[in-house]
């Protein structure tokens, strides 16, 4: 079956630090890959997506590249802000079934 | 465009009672998904409805059930509530026949507390 593995959290960074949250997946076929973000007290919001190998998704300074050879979709941001504090979920869709990783709690301190 | 709306925002029940949670998808979306999020992380897939039919079900007991109405809104029912059912229940909607695949759009959830 499909699965998504995220790096364990929580992750705590200082403002302007570089962020990487690792995500690897197992899936049959050619899944689409997503990063969702959940701010405190809210539902999940789509952050970025990539639908085929070597695609780069980007939004709000976040980037992730669909690497089929390493089955990875790592999330990166060059300079985090306090407002980026949230839970980040890596996910894939294959056969109309969305599978989430466990989520990574990010806290950014001023 | 109005987003996915869920009601109620909070729900407090006692063990053994029944809970009904409601979800209205984004206009034009035919698929509705339900997820359980316990302990602030980790989404567990509950149910997927499309065009009024249950398409897939997660690994939950039968006391978790639901339905989708002709207007594509959906209800999640939880019978014989147990303490461990306390969680945030998230609803999401999407198209399923768009290429590339349409992502899910989530509501803000219903916080269910079982005492």
> Averaged over A74-93, what is the pLDDT?
95
Residue B47 backbone dihedrals phi, psi, to 5 degrees: -150, 150
Q: Of residues B22 and B30, which shows the higher confidence score? A: B22
Give the DSSP per-residue string, chain A: --EEEE--S-EEEETT--EEE-EEEE-SS--EEEEEEE-TTS-EEEEEEE-STT-EEEETTEEEE-BTTTTB--EEESS--GGG-EEEEEEEEETTEEEE---EEEEEE-
pLDDT, one tens digit per residue, over A19-76 is 999 999 999 888 999 999 999 888 889 999 999 999 999 999 999 999 999 999 999 9
Average pLDDT, chain B: 91
Indicate which of B25, B32, B41, B102 best probes the interface with A, i.e. most A CBs within 10 Å of its own CB.
Answer: B41
Q: Indicate yes or no: CB of B45 within 8 angstroms of CB of A96.
A: no
Distance CA A26, CA B25 (A): 29
Q: For residues A47 and A62, is the Cβ–Cβ distance under 8 A?
A: yes
Percentage of the residues of chain B whose pLDDT score is greater than 70: 91
Range name among A44-48, A84-88, B10-14, B94-98 with the lowest pLDDT average: B94-98
Mean pLDDT across A5-15: 91
**DSSP structure class, residue B85:** G
Q: Are B67 and B76 in contact (CB under 8 A)?
A: no
Name the A residues in 49-88 with CB < 8 Å from any B CB: 49, 51, 87
Q: Does position B5 have pLDDT exceeding 80, yes or no? A: yes
Q: Do B108 and A41 touch (CB under 8 A)?
A: yes
> Which band of pLDDT confidence, cut at 50, 70 and 90, is reported for residue B110?
very high
Looking at the predicted structure, is the pLDDT value of residue B40 above 70? Answer: no
- Whole-angstrom distance, CA of residue A46 vs CA of residue B3: 13
| Two structure tokens written together for A79 | 């300079």
pLDDT category of residue A104 using cuts at 50, 70 and 90: very high
In the sheet that A62-65 helps form, which strands lie side by side, from edge to edge?
A: A19-21, A75-77, A62-65, A56-59
pLDDT score of B99: 47
Burial of A43 (0-12, 13-18, 19+ CB in 10 A): buried
Q: Which residue has the higher pLDDT, B103 or B48?
A: B48
Minimal C-alpha gap between B52 and chain A (Å): 16
* Per-residue model confidence (pLDDT) at position B1: 66
Assess whether pLDDT exceeds 70 at residue B98.
no
Per the CB < 8 A criterion, the answer to whether A71 and A50 are in contact is no
Instruction: Decide if pLDDT at B91 tops 80.
Output: yes
CA B63, CA B76: separation in Å to the nearest integer? 10
Query: Cβ–Cβ of A96/B109 closer than 8 Å?
Result: no
């Amino acid at each position: 079956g499909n699965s998504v593995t995220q790096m364990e959290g929580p992750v705590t960074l200082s403002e302007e630090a570089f962020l990487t949250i690792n995500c690897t997946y197992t899936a049959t076929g050619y899944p689409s890959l997503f990063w969702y973000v959940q701010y405190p007290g809210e539902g999940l919001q789509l952050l970025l997506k990539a639908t085929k190998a070597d695609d780069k998704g980007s939004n709000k300074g976040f980037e992730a590249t669909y690497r089929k050879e390493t089955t990875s979709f790592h999330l990166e941001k060059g300079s985090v802000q306090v407002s980026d504090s949230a839970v980040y979920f890596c996910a894939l869709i294959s056969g109309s079934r969305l599978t989430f990783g466990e989520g990574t709690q990010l806290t950014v301190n001023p | 465009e109005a987003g996915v709306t869920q009601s109620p925002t909070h729900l407090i029940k006692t063990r053994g009672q029944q809970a009904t949670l409601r979800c209205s998808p984004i206009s034009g979306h035919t698929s509705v998904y339900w997820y359980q999020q316990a302990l602030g992380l980790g989404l567990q897939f509950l149910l997927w409805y499309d065009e009024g039919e249950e398409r897939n079900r997660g690994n939950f007991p039968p006391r978790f059930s639901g339905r989708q109405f002709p207007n594509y809104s959906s209800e999640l029912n939880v019978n014989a509530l147990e303490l461990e059912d306390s969680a945030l229940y998230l609803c999401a909607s999407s198209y399923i026949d768009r290429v590339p695949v349409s992502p899910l759009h989530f509501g803000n959830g219903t916080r269910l507390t079982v005492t």
